[in-house]
Structures are given as structure tokens and as C-alpha cells.
Amino acid sequence: MGMSKQPIVVDTSRRTFLNGAAAAAALIVSDGYLAQPAYATMLGTIHTEAAEAAKNLAAGRQVTLKILEPSGSLGNIKPVAERWTAATGINIQYIEVPLGEINQKVMLEAVSKSGAFDIALPASFGLPDQVEAGVLLNLDQYAQKYEPPGFRDDYLYSTGDFYKGSLYGYLTDGDTYSMFYLKDLLSSKDENKRFADKHGYGLKVPDTWEELDAMMAHFHRPEKGMYGGTLFRTQYFIAWEFWSRFHAKGFYPFDGDLNPQINNEAGIKALTELVNASKSQYPGAKTNGLFENFEAYGQGNSFCNIGWGGTQKYLNGPKSKVAGKLAFGNMPGGKVKGTLIRTPYFNWGWEYAVSAQSKEPEIAYLFALFAVSPAMSTIAVRDRDGYFDPFRAAHYKDPEIQLLYSADFLKVHEASMRDSIPDLYLKGQGEYFDELRVNIQAADSGQKSPKQALDDTASAWNRITRRMGKRSQLVQWTFLKSMYPAGIRKSLT
């Protein structure tokens, strides 16, 4: 009954694989997401319904759910969990692990099979590995039973919830990248004239990476203590920036046959531009982590920054000198075949997932559903000290959340969430990305030419794909491609 320990095998007889969008449509319809669920209910009261169902399931028994959560997220989970216990009588036990260890601890379950947790909060890019290791429960049947109509309509990004067509988690954190700009600089008539004279167009929130690079270079005046950007040139961040730049040139990282495209001309161009842009960054770009970045940009002497909702929570807060002085923008895109495409990038995101070893899988699922319901998730996102950023349309209308993030930012954030390109949700994600970022950093520090770096990455990726099993990876890659935002899909090759 759903306690599947085997990796999910796609039944190709039932879901004949066609190319492109047809495949996705076939999957979704055949899994009955749009069909009427057995437990028809209104979206607004899904949390009470879920709690009610759980209470009935647990009737007469003392049930405790164990949640494996990363340290620092308790502020988001506790308010929701307390309401759950009040409504259902089911206790929640928190098992906290250090932030950097959460994906590891979930994977460890594959070896230890200890049933140590019922629910876990891995980061979304860890899901493929965890599913393939048999750690996570396939939630399709529960979703069919309990998800109300329209549940995903205001769920702005949920690509990470699925793997090879099945549901494995509920996103609970809106980690899409956004850009921050100093309003004063953008609206300064003087700067506008100087920039327009040189480049032929005026200052504005950049639409493309080329425009952003030009503006960063324009504003980079270190001798005056002014920097073009506080972008990141450290490990994972640099790879994330490349990911967006590459997609903005109009290509998927792999072609339809899982051959890497990362080292094509567009890729080399994207990497070269990234390395060039390094010249316009502040001195701490190569070394600073997330919080140093907040503090640095909060000083107000840098033109632009890149970051998540958490970045804005700081920049809009009492410690930052730029609160109220910022303009926001989606991640820049690119002109592909004449059209402007935007490639906002979603690259972390905590997910509620259910353990395949759980003894109360249905109740655990119901808690996850409860927690990401519009009403409950709004409460979770309100926590100032927590990780969860807005991810449902309902959040953006909440006054407390608006105060926390500022309405202008939320407008941009919401638009980004709707159109975000996903991370590389493949088995072995860590290895793929590790190869990419090592080579990108080598290119950035001048040890390798961009072409060499990307060629090395491509051959490493081929090796990894072979080791992971090309057929299996191709199933997921085809599915993942079909989950890219519809507006971008037609422009990407």
C-alpha cells in the first residue's frame, strides 16, 4: 500500500513516450490530476479537510509524526505544526540536523532503513537521487485522493515536486532568483545620459544579460568606492549564474538525446561573458558567502545584487541601508531568434517529502498537504527568521508578508516564480553540478579557457550519464524538459 521500496519504473506501455509537450500532457491526464479527485473539496479549506482526514485515520491511537528538518527552519514549521496538533491530536516530533547535512541524512536512510523520520525537508534538487534510492514515497495515489481542484493553480512553481511523472514532494519555499538594483542610480538623469550616449539605450531594469553586464561595467568605479555588482563568484553561486546565462542564450543543457550542449558556441559565449562580468564585481565576490553578501549590498555602494527572498528580507530590514531604495527585476534573459525570453531560475527550494519507511504514510502525506495549503503556508512564510519564501499566490496578498518583503519585490518575485526554469533534476545532480562549477571556477580564475572548461564539463557529464544509466536518465530528462515553463520552451533548442 504505497510503501514502495523499488525505484519508480515508468510503464512505457501505458504512457507511450512522444516528443515534447504531448508527453507531459499524456502523463498528467493519465495520472488523473485534472480529473475529479475522490475527496472533492474547496481549495480554501483544504487544511481543515486534511486535518479532519488525518484525525479520522488516527482515531483511537496515539500517533506521532517525526519531521527531519534542517536547522534554522523551525520558525517556519512550528506555527503550522502546532495548529496541526491542535486540530488532529497528532503530535509532531522535530529531528533537527545541521543545515548542510539534510540531504545527506535523507539519503542515509537508503542504507540504514531505520524509519527515523516520517517527513523530511530535503532541498528540491536532492529529490531525484532520493527517489532512485527508494527513500521517498510515491505520493500519486494520495494526491489523487486528496488534492482538490485548482490546488496547483496558485502553486507557482512545482517542477521539483515531480520525478519521472510521479509526485514525490510538496514545495514549501519559493527560492527563485531575483535581481536588486539601486533605484537612485537607475533613475539618475545624469547617469542615464552618460549610459545612453555610450550604448544607445537608456538605463532601465535590464532585460538581457548583455544589458546587465553593460550596466555593471558602467557603474563599476572602485576608485570611488562604487562597484558594479555584488554577484557571487563562489562555488555553487557561480554555477547558478552560468545556468541562467546559458539558458538565456536559447539552449537546454542537454539535447533530446541527453548529449551535453553546454559546450556549444552559446555556452562558450555565456561563460566568456560571465568571466568578463567578474571584472565589475565587488572585491568579496570570490570569497563571500550569503550573509556577507547581504551585508555588503546593504551598504549601498554597489549597483546590483542577485538573491532570493531571504536576501530581500535582510535588505528590507533594519540593518540594511538600502531599505526602500531598491528596484527589483527578474533575472535577465536573452534575445533568442528575435524574441526576448526570460529565464528566471529556481535553484533550491525546500520540499516536504514522505519517507518510504514511514509507518503512517497517509497521515504524513496529509500533514504535508496541510502545511502547503494556502492558509497554513501563509502562516509559515510569515516567519521573519525562517527560510521559506513565498510560493503560493495567496502569500503575495498577505499584508504581513508584504511588509516583510515590500510589495515591489513581491511583484517581481511572483512573476519570476511563475516562469522559473528548473535546476538539473537528475540522478547524480550533485556530481553533474560539481563538474560544472569546478570547471567554471577554473575558467573564472584563468586556469582554463572557457572552451576548455566547458569541453571538460561535457565529457565529464557523459561519463556520469553512462554511470547513472543513460536510459533511466533520458526518461527523467525528457520529462523535465516538458516541465519547463511553456513560454520558454518554444524558444529553447
Partner 1 sequence: MAKTQNDGLLKAPGPSPLGPGFSLGFALMAPAQLTLLAVVLLPSLMILWLGVTAWQPTAGIPWYKAEFIWFWNFYDLYFDSRFTSAVLRTLLFVAVCVLSELLIALCLAVLFLDEWPWRKLAVSVIILPMMIVPVDAANAFFMLFSARGPINYIIAEVLGREFAYAWLADPQWALLPIMLAEIWQWTPLMFLLMLAGLMNLPENQVRAAVALGASPSRIFVKIMLPLLSPVILIALIIRSIETFKIFDPVYILTRGGPGSATESISMFMYNGAFVFFRIGYIAAAALLVLVLVVSICLPLARVLRR
Partner 2 sequence: MPFVQSLVGRKPLARILKRTVVIFAMALSFAPIFWLLSTSFKPYDEWAIYPPVWVSQRPTLQNYRIVFAPDAAKSFAAAQGGSLDYKVAGSAWKAFVDSTIISTAATFFSVVFGTLAAYSMVRFKTGGEHSAFQFLTVRMLPPIAVVVPMVAMFSILNLSDTYVGLVLAYTAFTLPFSVWMVRSFIEDVPQELEGAAMIHGMTQLEAFIKVTLPLIRGGVLATALFVFILNWSEFLFALTLTSGGITTVTVQVAKYVSASSGTLYGVQAAMGTVSTLPVIVFGYLIQRHLVRGLTFGSVKR
Q: Which residues in this chain contact partner 1 in the complex, by CB under 8 A? A: 6-7, 100, 104, 107-108, 110-111, 129, 132-135, 234-235, 283-284, 286-288, 292, 427-428, 430-431, 434, 438, 441, 467-468
Give CA–CA dist 277/230, Å, rounded: 11
**Half-sphere exposure of 402 toward its Cβ, with a 13 Å CA cutoff?**
9
Window 368 to 407, contacts with partner 2 (CB under 8 A): 383-387
For the bound state, the minimum distance from the C-beta of residue 491 to partner 1, rounded and expressed in Å, comes to: 33
The closest alpha carbon to 229, from 289, 287, 284, 291, belongs to: 284
Question: Which CB, 289 or 469, lies closer to partner 2?
Answer: 289
- From the list 5, 18, 91, 101, which residue makes contact with partner 2 (rule: CB under 8 A)? 101
Window 45 to 74, contacts with partner 2 (CB under 8 A): 68, 71-74
Residue 83 interacting with partner 2 (CB under 8 A): no
Residue 75 interacting with partner 2 (CB under 8 A): yes
Residue 99 interacting with partner 2 (CB under 8 A): yes
Q: Which residues contact 309 (CB under 8 A, 6 or more apart)?
A: 174, 175, 178, 389, 390, 405, 409, 413
Question: Which CB, 393 or 442, lies closer to partner 1?
Answer: 442
Give CA–CA dist 207/325, Å, rounded: 20
Question: Which CB, 296 or 492, lies closer to partner 2?
Answer: 296
| β partners of residue 180 | 305, 328
Strands 351-354 and 119-120: antiparallel
For the bound state, the minimum distance from the C-beta of residue 192 to partner 2, rounded and expressed in Å, comes to: 35
The closest alpha carbon to 144, from 59, 222, 40, 269, belongs to: 40
Residue 217 interacting with partner 2 (CB under 8 A): no
Decide if 383 contacts 75 (C-beta within 8 A).
Answer: yes
Question: Which CB, 108 or 393, lies closer to partner 2?
Answer: 108
H or E element that contains 459: helix 450-468
Residue 126 interacting with partner 2 (CB under 8 A): no
Out of partner 2, partner 1, none, what residue 286 binds, judged by CB under 5 to 8 A for its kind, is partner 1
| Three-state secondary structure call for residue 355 | strand
Out of partner 1, partner 2, none, what residue 71 binds, judged by CB under 5 to 8 A for its kind, is partner 2
Question: Which CB, 133 or 315, lies closer to partner 1?
Answer: 133
Output the CA–CA distances (angstroms, integers) from residue 87 to 74, 83, 277, 292, in the order listed: 19, 6, 53, 41
**Eight-state DSSP code of residue 484:** S
- From the list 6, 56, 111, 337, which residue makes contact with partner 2 (rule: CB under 8 A)? 111
Question: Which CB, 29 or 99, lies closer to partner 2?
Answer: 99
**Tally of residues, the chain:** 493
Residue 310 interacting with partner 2 (CB under 8 A): yes
Question: Which CB, 238 or 266, lies closer to partner 1?
Answer: 238
Strands 64-70 and 169-171: unpaired
Q: Which residues bind partner 2 (CB under 8 A)?
A: 68, 71-75, 78, 94-101, 105, 108-109, 111-114, 116-117, 289-291, 310, 313-314, 317, 383-387
